[in-house]
Amino acid sequence: MDIAPGKKVTIEIRATPPTPSGRKTLVRICAKDPAMRKLARSRKAKRPSWQEWQRGGRLWHHQMRSKAPVQLSPGRRYAVLATLDVIRDLASIERWVTVTPH
């Protein structure tokens, strides 16, 4: 993979990786898309993140988890900045994605 660090690249998903580690890597890379970051921030701001209630004279709490902002369906495209960690991760999942430089 000949991608220069610091350049923008477009990642198109060809297929979903069959392993959990491959899916996690792909979600981590695609979540770096500026549009996905903005979506994740707006989702987090609009929902309650900490719920407290009293039960048996004690305070209980529950912290909500965020869903991944990306969808791993074939044909989806994400534009990310190619840093060294992104390039290394893309090399590990290159079977399931198509990477094109801008």
User: Does 7 score more than 90 pLDDT?
Assistant: yes
pLDDT of amino acid 31: 94
- Report the share of the chain in percent with pLDDT over 70: 99
Q: Binning pLDDT at 50, 70 and 90, where does residue 43 land? A: confident
Helix 20-30 vs helix 84-92: crossing angle, to nearest 10: 150
Q: What is the mean pLDDT of the chain?
A: 91
Cα separation, 93 vs 14, in Å, equals 11
- Per-residue pLDDT, averaged over 52-80, amounts to 89
Cα separation, 64 vs 55, in Å, equals 19
Q: What's the gap between Cα 39 and its chain centre?
A: 11
